[in-house]
Every structure is written in C-alpha cells, then in structure tokens.
Structure 1
Amino acid sequence: MANKFGATSTTEDVLAGVDLRGKRVLVTGVSAGLGVETARTLAAHGAWVVGTARDLAKAEKATAHVRADAKNGGGIELIQLDLASLKSARAAADKLVKDGKTFDVVIANAGVMVPPFGKTVDGFETQIGTNYLGHFVFVNRIAKLIADGGRFVSLASSGHRFSDVSLDDPNFEKTAYEPWTGYGRSKTANVLFAVEFDRRHKARGVRATAVHPGGIQTELGRHMDADAIPAMLKNINAELAAAGKPPYAFKTVPQGAATSVWAGFVAKADDVGGLYCEDCNLSTVTDGVINPAAGGVRAYALDGEHAKALWAKGEEWASETF
C-alpha cells in the first residue's frame, strides 16, 4: 500500500485537499488532547462532529477553537458520556438512536492510562471497563447508525504489546494489579474489538480498524510517575540503539491525531479493514519484542478467533447481546 504519509504527518497534512462537507462524525473524548484536535480538523474541513465527554463544561471550553476553526458547514455538538458507566453508555447511545441521524465515521478516541487500581461503576477494573467495555456497549448500540460504507476507528496503542487481554481475570482478582499490564490488556481489547466489528459489518461496507496514535504528551499520562519517565525513555532508547534505530521522539498532538483521521477518511477501506495502523500506515506483525517503541502489532491482537472470544466475553460482562 503506497502511502506518502508517515510518523511526522499532521492532521492537516493527511486532509489537505479533502472536503468533508456533509459528513457526520462521532468522536469520543473531546475534552482534551487527541479528541479535540481530531474534532477540530474534521470541522475545519466541513464535517459535523458529535463529540462525547464525561465533563461537558470542560469539553465546552476545550472545543471553543473547534467552533472557531469550523468551515463550510462544519461544526460540533456535545453529548454527555461517561465510559466508566454502562448506564451512561446506554443512555448516550439511546439518545443518538432516537435522534436517528447516521454517521459516516465513528472514532472511539477516549481512554485512561495506568491509573491506580480502581473499578468502574459496574465493578470492572478501570482500564478494561473504560477503554474497552464502555466503548463496546456504546458503539455496538449505535452500530446501525453507521451508514453503509462507513467506518469505525478504535484507538488502541503500542502498549498492547505489554499484555494480551485476560478473558478469565479482567479485574485482577486472581493476580496482583500492575498498571501497565492493565493498560496493555485494555488496548489489546481495543484492537480485537475492531477486528470482530469489521468481520460482522463488512458485508454492508462498514469497515473497522484499530490505530496507534504514537507517544504524545497529553492529559492521558496524568497518572504516570514523572520521575519514572526519564528512566523509561532511557531503557527504550537503549533498545532502539541496539537495533540501529534513532532515539524515541514524542509526537505533537496534530501528529498523534493524524493516524485516526487518515484511517477514517483517507486510507482505502479494504486496505485497513480489520487491521492495525500506526504512523499513517498499515502496521506489520512483530512478535517477540515487548518495547512499544519498536512498532508493529502483536499477532494475538489480530487473531480472529481470539476476537470472537473477547466479543462473547464482552457480551457476558455487559449482560447484553449484540
């Protein structure tokens, strides 16, 4: 798949010359970081964005420049959605279904990363409950609103390389909680969700893909120990140097949001459907290396049977069949 974009491409680079007038897009998590930039660039190119946020007051302030930059009929409206509550996920979805307006693209952007151990309202470990299960229920409830030929983009992470999803111990009841393991589990789940969603909906032209935005310094990292970051980067760079690769570089927010936009609007649907993308390109399977900066996707995250098994577990956990 020939592609002129890469790790340093921005949202404006990938949408240069692209007219999104008449498109409706749903983006979760528009109160900070990647979600706000994703909404901004889409509205600036003429799309109407429905953005979700747990804290609507915060989102209103964060998206003021989205409205200011909107052109050609583009704009944004907000709805309340707390992904750590299945009641909230269902209420937000039901509101959209009642409204009946279709979406061309749904981007599951919201998430949490390495918080202290905690549980969602429904009793699930915070990361698997928020990053995966909340989106699983919300997106599946509005799946019929994705227009034929539309797309679903699930934000995953290279952090999926830390750990496979746990189907029998999602809440760390049998093992000690480790934040990065929990994050890895939830991000592997985000990839597997896209894999199975794609299989279930591609007959009507709806394709799903998972994306890694890259390492970006946003609010997502608010739970990380600031003193531990230099040591982590030192280890990552030592491994990269040993592999003959340049040092790790953080992306800007517009660079980080670029892959979501590229996968949703620029890449050919058949090229990315059911797969994992990073740096505005399709990724390759690279097992055996844990270092998330090494790039690539683990085979377990793209395994179709594994994706089916997680889907069944998701339905069991949510007590809801899709």
Structure 2
Amino acid sequence: MPAPTNPFQPYADRYLDYSNGNDARPTALDAVKDLNLVDKLQDKVILITGASAGLGSETARALHATGAKLYLTFRDKARGQATAEELMGSNPHGKRPTLIEMELASLDSVREAAKQFLDQEKRLDILINNAGIMAVLEGRTVDGFETQLGVNHFGHFLFFQLLKPVLLASGTSECPSRVITLSSAGHKANGIFLEDLDMSKQGYQPMIAYAQSKTANIYMANSIERHYGARSLRGLSVHPGLIFTTQLGRHMSAGEMEAFAPMAHLARSPEQGAATSVWAALSPHFDSRGGLYLADAGVSSPADEDENFGGPGYAPHAYDEDAEEKLWKLSYKAVGLQDDEE
C-alpha cells in the first residue's frame, strides 16, 4: 500500500470502510515505516509512561524500531521486564529500553521517577504521556486527588514539569521536542469542573470523572503549546480510538460496557490504536504546529452533531483558553510547584 501524502490527514481513506475483513487502518509500525524512520532516530531519546501493556507496549514496539533510546515507566516490574524482552526479541538490533518504576497516584513516586531519568539523561526529545485509568470506583490518590484526575492529569502534569528543562534544552527550531498526551473521545461527555474537581458537590460518577480527566489531558497539551511552542516544545493530544482488548476498561460495570455496544464497529486493535500516538510523535508536519487534537492518525475536527460518541471529532469545550489557563495555574499549586512564568 502506498505511503500517505496528505500531511495532516494521512490515512483518511483507510478509515472510510474497514468492514467485511477489509481493515486497512494503519498500525503504529506502519506509521514508522511510512515516515521512513526505521533505524533513523539513533540520536533521539523517547520516554513513554505506562508502557508495559496495551497501547503503551505497542507504542514502544513501534518507536523501538526507529533506533531511538527508550525509557519506559511501569507499575508492575515483571510486566515491565517482559515488555523490554519482547521489544528486544522483535528488534534484536535496537537499544535495550531502560525501565523506571512510577506510580502516578503518588507525587513522591513521580518525583523519584523524574529524578531517575534525569540522573541518567541530559536530553529528552519526545515524552508520551500514555498511562491512564478509566471509570474506577470513587477514591483518592495518596495526595488526596480524585483518583482519575490525580492519575491521568496531576501525575502527568508534575512529571512534565520536572522534565520540562531537559525537553526545552533538547528542542530546536528545526526539530522541536514534543509532549504527546493521550486523551479520549470520552472527553466529549463533559468538561472541567473547576469549582468541584473532586466531584464532592455533584456526586461522583466514574465515567463523568473520566471525561473530566480526559478534557484535562487536552487542556494540558494545549497549554504546553501556548506556553512553550515558541521555545521549540510542542504539545499534542491524542484519541487512540476504541480498543476493547486492553485492560483500560476493566473497572467498568456491565451497564457501562453495554453503552459501548453501538460503537463496536469502531473498535480497533492496540497496534492500530497506537498509530495516532506514533504519528503525533514522529511526523515532521508537527514541527511547526502544535496544540492539536489528533484521532485516526491525523488532525481531528469538531465533532458533528450526529457523530458517534466514539468518533474522531472533538467537543467545543476542547479548546477553551480561559479554562485551560485556570487549570494550568491550579495544577501548579496542586502539585506544589511555583509557576516559572509568574
């Protein structure tokens, strides 16, 4: 199949009809090959959070093929080691990934993980905030945040801020550094409850809390672009698509899972789901453009009124500079950092 030519919707035709066994939607490795980057990024350093299973491991597998040096965070040591062995098995000539333990539900763990990375590296070209949880029962992180917002947003916010100096130092005007943050079509359910982030006033609902955290992921990517795009650091958010074969939805009730039944035809494999993250990380077309929401391995557009909830479009609230800036400043305080621009 020929390589794509449209820079911002490179695979649009492959998402038009993938029924009847004719599924040509790209995989993450397809993106690497189509960009002609196999073994071409020997001097790059890439860090992926939550890389020991599902989307994370498939993202790592594709990026390992570029020859880049990979750092992978994990919660389960055995699974992290297994992923590293699998990567070396599929690409014996690649660099052995370095594993770093990190629990996003603990800011102390995030600080330690960032320290471990910075003790070993002086550059970071691409950070992929892949780790996340979905629809968990009501709870609090070690630091008192609502669990989904704490893991999906605050943990990654702190991790980024601690790695920001090396990201800024590694980027150039010709080749900016990038931060790719996984969001979800789930953000379309609702935005951010700035006056009720822990949902204690309105009452906790797992999928509403998930939507809030996924909107926060988009806001963080947009804010990174707004604050640091001119300093050669790009921010992008990604919807990987509906994937029923990972463990992300393991906390969902039968009723919540049933709600996804009408969207079953949109489902894709983890290899296909990781394509958008990899395209965001590698496509040269994003050297000069950030602050974008990507889906179906291309730049998304506003969701149509009749679009399926799991579709590639984004909600109107996905771009709200006032709310983004409020969350940005609030997040600094929440993780105990001083805004370096104040």
Fold-level similarity (TM above 0.5): yes
2:79 is aligned with what amino acid? K
Which residue does 1:53 correspond to in 2? 74
1:168 is aligned with what amino acid? E
Equivalent pair of 1:161/1:291 in contact (CA under 8 Å): no
Compute the displacement of 1:99 (Å): 2.9
Deviations 1:266-291 (A, max 9, x none): 15125640110000110112375685
- Structure 1, 207-216 or 163-172: larger mean CA deviation: 163-172
Which residue does 1:161 correspond to in 2? 188
Which residue does 2:239 correspond to in 1? 212
Which residue does 1:257 correspond to in 2? 274
Compute the displacement of 1:123 (Å): 0.9
1:24 is aligned with what amino acid? V
Gaps of 5+ in 1: 237-246
2:317 to 300, 303, 310: 300
Mapping for residues 21-100 of structure 1, pairs under 5 Å: 21-70=42-91, 72-100=93-121
1:298 is aligned with what amino acid? A
Compute the displacement of 1:294 (Å): 3.3
Which residue does 2:158 correspond to in 1? 137
CA distance in 2, matches of 1:270, 1:24: 16
CA distance in 2, matches of 1:291, 1:317: 35
Equivalent pair of 1:20/1:42 in contact (CA under 8 Å): no
CA distance in 2, matches of 1:287, 1:97: 44
CA distance in 1, matches of 2:332, 2:95: 36
Which residue does 2:303 correspond to in 1? 286
Deviations 1:118-172 (A, max 9, x none): 1110111110000000000011110111111111101000000011011111111
Gaps of 5+ in 2: 1-5, 16-24
| TM-score (norm. length: structure 1) | 0.91
Task: Give the 3-state SS of the residue equivalent to 2:266 in structure 1.
Answer: coil
Compute the displacement of 1:53 (Å): 1.0
1:9 to 12, 26, 35: 26
Q: In 2 relative to 1, CA 45–72 (structure 1 residues): closer, same or farther, beyond 3 Å?
A: farther
What percent identity do the matched residue pairs reach?
A: 37
CA distance in 2, matches of 1:305, 1:112: 26
CA distance in 2, matches of 1:196, 1:122: 24
| TM-score (norm. length: structure 2) | 0.86
Task: Give the 3-state SS of the residue equivalent to 1:314 in structure 2.
Answer: helix
1:312 is aligned with what amino acid? K
1:211 is aligned with what amino acid? V
2:235 is aligned with what amino acid? A
Aligned residue pairs, count: 311
Compute the displacement of 1:68 (Å): 1.5
Task: Give the 3-state SS of the residue equivalent to 1:292 in structure 2.
Answer: coil
Spell out structure 1 runs of 4+ moving beyond 6 A.
Answer: none
